[in-house]
Amino acid sequence: MNNSSFPKKTALALTGLLLLLAAGCILWLILAKGPSDHCIAQIYQDGVLLESIDLSRVEAPYEFTVSGKGGASNTLRVTKDSIGIISANCPDRICVHQGFIRTPLLPITCLPNHLVIQLVPRDTVGPDATTY
């Protein structure tokens, strides 16, 4: 028996196992939280909630602009069950390239303009805790 191939086979088996585990996690994230029919879009700037929009109740698409410090601006488009940033004056425009979101998996962020858009299921909107 050649002992020099044993560590190579072990490393190959562990690599394959890790790849399978990573693929399984990615599939679970994609399939476990499919598109939600009842999401609230919460729009924050500098950590302050500017607006909450129930996306399931949007009857016609509309746009509005969020202005910030130093002339920052983001134009948002709201449609039934989705929201996205369609234009921004930040230097990289990563927020525009994120496209429209329909699930709570990943928020849209515009770091230069301090803007965050996140979706939350309608039944979880409310206080996280109550203090007496």
Between CA 26 and CA 102 the distance in angstroms is 18
Residues 83/106, Cβ–Cβ less than 8 Å: no
Q: Give per-residue pLDDT as tens, 94-131.
A: 999 999 999 888 899 999 899 999 999 877 655 555 55
27 and 51, same domain (yes or no):
no
Q: Give per-residue pLDDT as tens, 9-31.
A: 888 889 999 999 999 888 877 67
- Ramachandran assignment for 65, one of left (phi > 0), alpha (psi -120 to 50 degrees), beta (any other): beta
CATH number at residue 89: 2.60.320.10
pTM: 0.66
Domain hosting 81: range is: 39-124
User: Three-state DSSP class for 132?
Assistant: coil
Between CA 115 and CA 50 the distance in angstroms is 10
